[in-house]
């Protein structure tokens, strides 16, 4: 709401401050330049390309300097605002519930997002054909543009899901499914959109089907996700070993600062190497909470992760998460009035809402049915309905849409995405509490407490803290049971000040190495 108010003031309350110069004709050039150096009386000035202007609008170009200054740079969102949000989500994640449902989360995030993208893209292509038939399409709108819109709008919003479910203390298993899907499918949406943009057929018709270009795009998508390095980038950049094998705990402020900077560098380094920074920083947060947190001093622990206190206490990452989240949603309201190339088409907007609903339903219910065939703890119908209802669109869809608004089709896609974000956040988000009550889903519960065993919820085992690790092993798949044993017996004693001494888990002939790597605190 504050963004909307400021946007109205900037759009209609500030006068234009620049004039129009006579446009020059470069008839000898057949393509635009991204940068021009203009010699004016011996002084050189640099000009950058902002986009193409149709001949009918040459005299209506906005020259308001204030609007230019508040123009959103998508790279600011991806590199500055997004990492604290995703890292905080991973760092504060209830790992037991997340990994217990990891198979379902991966199915919803990868397969579900791909299905949703292609369903929405094909339905929107039909809408575009209808618009062309009734004369409401004034420029080119290709099939690849429709697929790109499907990839953009398939990204559900972890920011909104986190805010609503954290505030309501909703069922932890439902939270894990929705949060895991929303975070991972953001990465899928980013890679899907990059793959579609990479589709460049050879020849004159750059939008015709080309087998080589198609397989190249598929290779771009699979090539990024097949690299396991983005999941393990964080051990290379975080400060697990630094916090264990140094006296950094004697300087809590420096320790907290390095913890923060090294965690952020995980995202930047992964992006610089061509990996998915969202997935890298998510698993960095999970790894930091699992290992590094045990090595931090008492002061750094209280600064980075909230303890169970009788009074409210907000940590560094909670504050950064809150600031980034509020800035993003404030700017969305700002962009509704400050973006100068909006194209609103009622047919396209209505078609987009219908396509999103059908795309969401087409991957939630069939996938849930298939997953329940192999799950011991079934995903109940009320959970499926809630997941269908909670497919909110938000910051990621907004940032992906605003990345490229140079063409007519992309401008229409951005304007429609903005309206969809407002509708889902205000209407669907506002209806979350009544929907949870109507579906009889538990709210206001302790996230560490297991739900009761009923047919409408996940069946989990009861136990006290001393039995929690055994319960986790029983609830997890065999692969994660193997990983748990290896992690508890070897990795934790090597990387942290917790776990059993290595002298009891390693063979006797490794006694010297075991004594060197085991810290005194373990004993």
Decide if pLDDT at 406 tops 50: yes
Residue 361 burial (C-beta neighbours within 10 Å; 0-12, 13-18, 19+): middle
pLDDT at 256: 87
> Which among 52, 61, 66 is positioned nearest to 21, based on CA atoms?
61
Give percent above pLDDT 90 in the chain. 13
Lowest-pLDDT choice from 133-142, 193-202, 289-298, 377-386: 193-202
Lowest-pLDDT choice from 103-117, 214-228, 357-371: 214-228
SS3 assignment for 190-219: HHHHHHHHCCCCCCCCCCCCCHHHHHHHHH
Which residues, 6 or more positions from 328, have their beta carbon under 8 angstroms from its beta carbon?
77, 81, 159, 394, 395, 398
Q: How far, in Å, CA of 307 to CA of 302, rounded?
A: 7
Decide if pLDDT at 110 tops 70: yes
> Confidence band (pLDDT; 50, 70, 90) for 454?
very low
pLDDT at 186: 80
Instruction: Provide φ and ψ at 70, rounded to 5°.
Output: -100, 10
Which residues, 6 or more positions from 430, have their beta carbon under 8 angstroms from its beta carbon?
none
Token pair belonging to 225: 């996700």
DSSP 393: B
Average pLDDT over residues 127-137: 91
Average pLDDT over residues 276-280: 78
Average pLDDT over residues 391-418: 87
pTM of the entire predicted model: 0.76
Instruction: Specify whether the CB–CB gap between 191 and 218 falls below 8 A.
Output: no
Q: How far, in Å, CA of 494 to CA of 291, rounded?
A: 10
Token pair belonging to 487: 């992690």
Bridge partner list, 38: 45
DSSP 156: B
Q: How far, in Å, CA of 429 to CA of 432, rounded?
A: 5
Angle between helices 395-402 and 408-423 (to 10 degrees): 170
Instruction: Specify whether the CB–CB gap between 418 and 438 falls below 8 A.
Output: no
Token pair belonging to 14: 């500030």
Lowest-pLDDT choice from 37-46, 250-259, 376-385: 37-46
DSSP 32: -
Angle between helices 316-338 and 2-12 (to 10 degrees): 40
Domains annotated for the chain, with CATH where assigned, are 76-201+210-439 (1.20.1530.20), 469-517 (no CATH)
> Confidence band (pLDDT; 50, 70, 90) for 396?
confident
- DSSP code string of 265-283: HHHHHHHHTTS-HHHHHHH
DSSP 488: I
Token pair belonging to 316: 């560094």
The number of CA neighbours under 13 Å toward the Cβ of 177 is: 26
Decide if pLDDT at 247 tops 60: yes
Token pair belonging to 209: 């089907």
Q: How far, in Å, CA of 144 to CA of 294, rounded?
A: 49
> Confidence band (pLDDT; 50, 70, 90) for 228?
very low
> Confidence band (pLDDT; 50, 70, 90) for 460?
very low
SS3 assignment for 413-427: HHHHHHHHHHHHHHH
Instruction: Provide φ and ψ at 469, rounded to 5°.
Output: -65, -40
Tell me the pLDDT tens digit for each residue of 318-365.
888 888 878 888 888 888 888 878 899 999 999 999 999 999 999 899
Decide if pLDDT at 50 tops 60: yes
* Termini Cα distance of the chain: 56
Q: How far, in Å, CA of 234 to CA of 296, rounded?
A: 17
Which residues, 6 or more positions from 197, have their beta carbon under 8 angstroms from its beta carbon?
148, 404
Rama region for 198: left / alpha / beta (φ>0; ψ in -120 to 50; rest): alpha
Average pLDDT over residues 77-95: 81
Q: Of the spans 138-142, 335-339, 463-467, which averages the highest pLDDT?
A: 138-142
pLDDT at 206: 52
Decide if pLDDT at 370 tops 90: yes
Decide if pLDDT at 229 tops 70: no
Please indicate whether residue 439 or residue 480 has the higher confidence score (pLDDT).
439
Lowest-pLDDT choice from 129-138, 213-222, 431-440: 213-222
Instruction: Specify whether the CB–CB gap between 514 and 503 falls below 8 A.
Output: yes
According to DSSP H, which parts of 46-142 are helical?
65-69, 74-76, 82-91, 95-100, 102-106, 113-134
Q: How far, in Å, CA of 257 to CA of 250, rounded?
A: 13
Q: How far, in Å, CA of 90 to CA of 240, rounded?
A: 16
Q: What is the dihedral of CA 287, 288, 290, 296, to 10 degrees?
A: 160
Average of per-residue pLDDT values in the chain: 76
3-state secondary structure at position 8: helix
DSSP 80: I
């Amino acid at each position: 709401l504050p963004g909307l108010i400021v946007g109205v003031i900037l759009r209609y309350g500030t006068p234009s401050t620049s004039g129009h110069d006579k446009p020059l004709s470069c008839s000898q050039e057949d393509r635009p330049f991204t940068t021009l150096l203009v010699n004016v009386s011996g002084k050189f000035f640099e000009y950058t390309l902002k986009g193409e202007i149709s001949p009918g609008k040459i005299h209506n170009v906005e020259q308001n300097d204030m609007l230019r200054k508040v123009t959103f740079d998508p790279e600011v969102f991806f590199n500055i605002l997004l990492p604290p949000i995703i890292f905080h989500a991973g760092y504060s994640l209830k790992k037991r519930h997340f990994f217990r449902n990891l198979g379902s989360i991966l199915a919803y995030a990868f397969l579900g997002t791909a299905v949703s993208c292609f369903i929405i893209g094909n339905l929107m292509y039909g809408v575009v054909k209808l618009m062309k038939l009734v004369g409401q399409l004034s420029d080119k709108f290709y099939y690849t543009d429709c697929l790109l819109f499907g990839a953009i709008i398939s990204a559900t919003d972890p920011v909104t899901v986190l805010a609503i479910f954290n505030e309501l203390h909703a069922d932890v298993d439902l939270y894990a499914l929705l949060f895991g899907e929303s975070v991972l499918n953001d990465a899928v949406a980013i890679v899907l959109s990059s793959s579609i943009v990479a589709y460049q057929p050879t020849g004159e018709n750059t939008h015709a089907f080309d087998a080589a270009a198609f397989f190249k795009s598929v290779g771009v998508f699979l090539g990024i996700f097949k690299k396991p390095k983005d999941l393990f980038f964080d051990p290379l950049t975080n400060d697990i070993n630094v916090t264990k094998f140094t006296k950094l705990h004697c300087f809590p402020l420096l320790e907290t600062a390095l913890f923060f900077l090294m965690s952020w560098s995980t995202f930047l380094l992964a992006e610089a190497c061509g990996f998915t920074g969202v997935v890298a920083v998510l698993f960095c947060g999970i790894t930091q909470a699992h290992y590094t947190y045990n090595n931090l001093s008492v002061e750094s622990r209280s600064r980075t992760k909230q303890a169970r206190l009788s009074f409210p206490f907000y940590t560094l990452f909670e504050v950064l998460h809150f600031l980034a989240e509020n800035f993003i949603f404030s700017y969305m309201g700002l962009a509704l009035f400050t973006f100068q190339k909006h194209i609103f088409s009622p047919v396209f907007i209505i078609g987009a809402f219908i396509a999103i609903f059908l795309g969401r339903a087409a991957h939630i219910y069939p996938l849930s049915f298939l997953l329940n065939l192999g799950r011991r703890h079934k995903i109940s119908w009320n959970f499926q309905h809630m997941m269908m209802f909670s497919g909110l669109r938000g910051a990621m869809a907004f940032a992906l849409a605003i990345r490229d608004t140079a063409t007519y089709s992309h401008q229409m896609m951005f304007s429609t995405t903005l309206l969809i974000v407002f509708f889902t956040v205000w209407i669907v988000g506002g209806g979350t509490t009544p929907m949870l009550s109507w579906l009889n889903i538990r709210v206001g519960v302790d996230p560490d407490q297991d739900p009761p065993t009923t047919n409408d919820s996940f069946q989990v085992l009861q136990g006290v803290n001393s039995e929690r690790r055994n319960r986790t092993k029983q609830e997890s798949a065999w692969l994660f049971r193997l990983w748990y044993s290896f992690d508890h017996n070897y990795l934790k004693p090597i990387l942290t000040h917790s776990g059993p001494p290595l002298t009891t888990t390693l063979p006797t002939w490794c006694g010297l190495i075991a004594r060197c790597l085991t810290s005194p605190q373990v004993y």
